[in-house]
Amino acid sequence: MYVTVLTASPNATNLEAHLVEALRNGWGGDAARWLARGAAAEFDLPAMPDNLATVRTELDRLGVDLNVVPVAGRRKRLLLADMDSTMIQQECVDELAAEAGVGPRVAAITARAMNGEIGFEGALRERVALLAGLDAGVIDKVLAERITPMPGGGTLVATMKAHGTRAALVSGGFTAFTEAVSARLGFDWNRANTLLVADGKLTGAPGEPILGRAAKVAALEELTAEMGIAEADVLAVGDGANDLGMLTRAGMGVALHAKPAVQAEARYRINHGDLTALLYLQGYRRANFVS
């Protein structure tokens, strides 16, 4: 048994009843249930529809995300989240680069790496090298002035934790940022790379080994073993190519406003909603949200 979940931006509220009913009738689903009027609805299905990809593309043009999830094990016990452009709206290395006067150059490398066009580890070393000599105090400035949470992130973490879930922030970025973001949003663990500092300035090198795609998969394996749960019990969310390992291994791997290469491989995707859409995928109603 499956559940069809339709979500839209919580600000647009453009998920209309006639659209939900048309899809339900076309797929022979059970009665629709509203999780949030105008923003999220679902209905049960006996089997995975053959034309899911085609219908998903059509609804995407209307500002609606379509995902079909199994009923069994729908609510997850571990949230494994990327940070940059996932739990926050920025790429931290790009923001540091802007302060160093090399913003466009670094941002171009970041975009290519996140779409899987170039290797993550080499791209990180190249970007960090361009930060050599930057005063380490700029990190606090960037955190205070440039970093903003992704909408719905605090609600996602708080609601899942209120129902017994643990949460881990696993980033290819830097601990100087994950520690602050993790504390702000209520994560239980955080893992990331380090920026090396000497005499109060960035050296232009990251700590080794670099945490990339394999490290995120390792985090999934280690934390599920520590908690005594299966990988099927994990909800993973990310936007870049270095997230694909954990997205494809987790029971529910969600590409959030992701790069094209990531959307092509991830089983679930959210292009229009915010992070609260991940709660709807698990069957939470808006009335269940914890802020």
Residues with active-site annotation: 82, 84
Of the CA atoms within 13 Å of residue 265, those in its CB half-sphere come to 17
Q: At what angle do helices 175-185 and 153-162 cross, to 10 degrees?
A: 60
Distance CA(98)–CA(106), nearest Å, equals 8
Q: Indicate the residue type of 221.
A: E
Number of helical H runs and strand E runs in the chain: 12, 12
3-state helix, strand, coil in the chain (%, to 5): 40, 25, 35
Q: Indicate the residue type of 253.
A: G
Residue showing tokens 């520590």: 226
Q: Are 64 and 19 in contact (CB under 8 A)?
A: yes
What six digits make up the tokens of 59?
A: 């609804």
Distance CA(82)–CA(78), nearest Å, equals 13
Q: Are 2 and 70 in contact (CB under 8 A)?
A: yes
Alpha-carbon Rg for the chain, nearest whole angstrom, is: 19
Nearest to 259 by CA among 5, 15, 84: 84
